[in-house]
Chains A and B, each alone.
Chain A
Amino acid sequence: MDDNATTDQTSEAENSYWRENIRLLVSLMAIWFACSFGAGILFRDFLDQFSLGGYPLGFWFAQQGSIYVFIALIFFYVVRMKQIERKYDLDD
């Protein structure tokens, strides 16, 4: 894939903006994966030995926690992207 190649149409700012966006996306999607598939599924048995109130921890992640993390991820992305867009003067 030649996605990062500079073409005639894209400016330097647009390329840096896009690279920064991709880096942010990769790290947020990693958290997305870790809290749902990681904590809620793959490592559930291990986490279930700890508890959060009356919830076994792995079970909590699967039925409550991952959803809260999802919300936080989206709003973090909203705020962070706005900053990145302003930095490169590309906001809408």
Chain B
Amino acid sequence: MDTQTLIYIFVGITFSLYIGIAIWSRAGSTKEFYVAGGGVNPVVNGMATAADWMSAASFISMAGILAFAGYDGSVYLMGWTGGFVMLALLLAPYLRKFGQFTVPDFIGTRYYSKAARVVAVICLIFISFTYIAGQMRGVGIVFSRFLDVDITMGVIIGMGIVFIYAVLGGMKGITYTQVAQYCVLIFAYMVPAFFLSFLITGTPIPQIGLGSEVADGSGMSVLQKLDSVLVDLGFTAYTDGSKSMIDVFCITLALMVGTAGLPHVIVRFFTVPKASDARKSAGWALIFIALLYTTAPAIGAFGMLNFVDKVDDTAYSEVDEFFPMWEGNGLLAFQDKNGDGVMQYRPGAAFEGSPEYTGETGPSGERLLSNTPNADSANEVYVDRDIMVLANPEIANLPGWVIALMAAGGLAAALSTAAGLLLVISSSVSHDLLKSTFAPNISAKSELLAARIAATAAICVAGYLGIYPPGWVAQVVAFAFGLAASSLFPAIFMGIFFKSMNKEGAIAGMVSGLVFTFSYILYFKLLDPAANTAENWLFGISPEGIGVIGMLINFGIAIAVASVTKSTPADIRKLVDSIRVPRGAGEAHAH
């Protein structure tokens, strides 16, 4: 069977599985729609959380980011896992004990204020839409690269699938499809990694392989070899970074705190039966995530080693067939600047922008480009970082079914995250804006209907953003983490640990943290991108890491304002006392 047929079969089987699960687990009540009935086993929830958390970017792009950034890529590895320690220790069990449906629920109730709830809803919607546009785009990209379907059609198919299980099944449908999606994506990620690690080091376990010797008789370890190969070509050593220490520190912290403050992750912990289960569940989630996150640096390093070995100093006419194949998808390109027919891979961009083919081929058979060559660099090869995951099975000559598995895995990663985000958007509209703020008298049945309508509308907006991605989407992913770190996290944290934090303090803190972080990112990313260099940054902190300062501002302002305004009412102090103690959590309840 050829690879294309295998891909159709794999993707078809996984999609039918997701739809089957959705039909089996339809939600009948608001409680099932918002928190899957509140009785999900902590290990199952951990697995669903892992799928929810690992997006198209984790699956497709992370290994590539690590391959090209080397040590600097560590910010993502530590940042996107360390946040789960904060969740398990500082937030999840208390929020579960509190026992309602959404993050704005907690903020609105704890700070006895509709204004606080609405501010939280605004933060949540902004964070979630920034994130979801990227997922829908990811679905389209996987379809177009593996199935020869154009991106628009791919996004529409993806929207259809998510519609079926998110709108029908709500949190209940999402939870069980996410479990299936986790199994698909982790299997798809690990299989090529085992092959690759075995091929390069003779050890099948990638985490060990990365610390072993290269099996080419040189006696060098993988990292030593990579360092020497890259330094010879003029790059920075792989194990050295080029970011400043304060920037690495702040980006890591902003990603950790941002992770702990992301609503679609927090809300997963509302679905387990008890407060102690929330802690356990965060631990399991991190184990499932760590499987992929500790493998990614190995794939990145092996992929880089393989890539340089196969491409640099190789005549185009003799290169392996993966090169021309991915050239067609625009992930690789060769511009023969010195006319010797041999590919030189060096630091710097080979040419301006992303590849634009003229449709003709050059003397060695390479596709010619209309891009202006970059005269400052001897580099002749354009590489998209996603190649490290997408093309790995071909670069390593793995069988066709492994490639089919990758396609199914990439789709699973994108769909599971998109569904989780859609759910928090729809529940914040139907539950927080309608039921709790503007239309308190609606019946449970109409609330459920409203949730389904909101989910449908959110799918359409997300699909539109996926098909016509505004230029700013890629630029503002930093927003999601920075805003979560500077607005939601401090408000939730102080709500649990500082009994004396009152309404005035929390609102002032959230608004100031949000406004500061938003303006800083807006200025450097959109208004004056030319000024986005270390000399102009506040304390040398890039927009990706500025959420840390926003968070400190939030804490500072909140504590200052709370100390000069009316103290917290007695019933709220009692509420805080009760969420601190696990006994009596019961099931998530309507209020």
Stretch at the interface among B379-387, B465-473, B580-588: B580-588
Q: How large is the interface on B (under 10, 10 to 19, 20 to 34, 35 or more residues)?
A: 35 or more
Which residues in window 235-290 of B have CB below 8 A to A?
A: 239, 245, 248-249, 252-253, 274-276, 279-280, 282-283, 286-287, 290
A-B contact count (CB 8 A): 147
Whether A53 lies near B286 (C-beta < 8 A) is: no
Whether B283 lies near A55 (C-beta < 8 A) is: no
Find A56's partner among B212, B223, B287, B573 (CB 8 Å cutoff). B223
Whether A54 lies near B290 (C-beta < 8 A) is: no
Count of interface residues, chain A, beta-carbon cutoff 8 Å:
47
Complex Cα gap A20–B499 (Å): 17
Whether B290 lies near A67 (C-beta < 8 A) is: yes
User: Nearest Cβ in chain A — how far from B405, in angstroms?
Assistant: 24
A-B contacts, 30 listed (Cβ < 8 Å): A3-B498, A3-B500, A14-B580, A21-B580, A29-B85, A29-B89, A32-B85, A42-B249, A52-B211, A53-B208, A54-B213, A55-B210, A59-B71, A59-B223, A62-B74, A63-B77, A64-B294, A67-B77, A68-B294, A70-B84, A70-B290, A74-B85, A74-B286, A85-B276, A85-B582, A85-B583, A90-B582, A92-B275, A92-B276, A92-B585
Whether A53 lies near B78 (C-beta < 8 A) is: no
Kindly state whether residue B297 has any CB partner on chain A within 8 Å: yes
User: Nearest Cβ in chain A — how far from B156, in angstroms?
Assistant: 37
Q: Which residues of B are in contact with A by a Cβ distance under 8 Å?
A: 66, 71, 73-74, 77-78, 81-82, 84-85, 88-90, 207-208, 210-213, 221-224, 239, 245, 248-249, 252-253, 274-276, 279-280, 282-283, 286-287, 290, 293-294, 297, 497-500, 573-574, 577, 580-585
Find B85's partner among A14, A62, A73 (CB 8 Å cutoff). A73
Binary contact readout A48-86 vs B (1 if CB under 8 angstroms, 0 otherwise): 100011111001101110111011011101100110010
Find B82's partner among A32, A48, A77, A82 (CB 8 Å cutoff). A32
A7, closest chain B residue (CB): B573
Complex Cα gap A59–B221 (Å): 14
User: Nearest Cβ in chain A — how far from B443, in angstroms?
Assistant: 32
Q: Which residues of A contact B88 (CB under 8 A)?
A: 74, 77-78
Q: Which residues of A contact B245 (CB under 8 A)?
A: 41-42
Whether A1 lies near B498 (C-beta < 8 A) is: yes
User: Nearest Cβ in chain B — how far from A75, in angstroms?
Assistant: 5
Binary contact readout A10-39 vs B (1 if CB under 8 angstroms, 0 otherwise): 100010011001000100110010001100
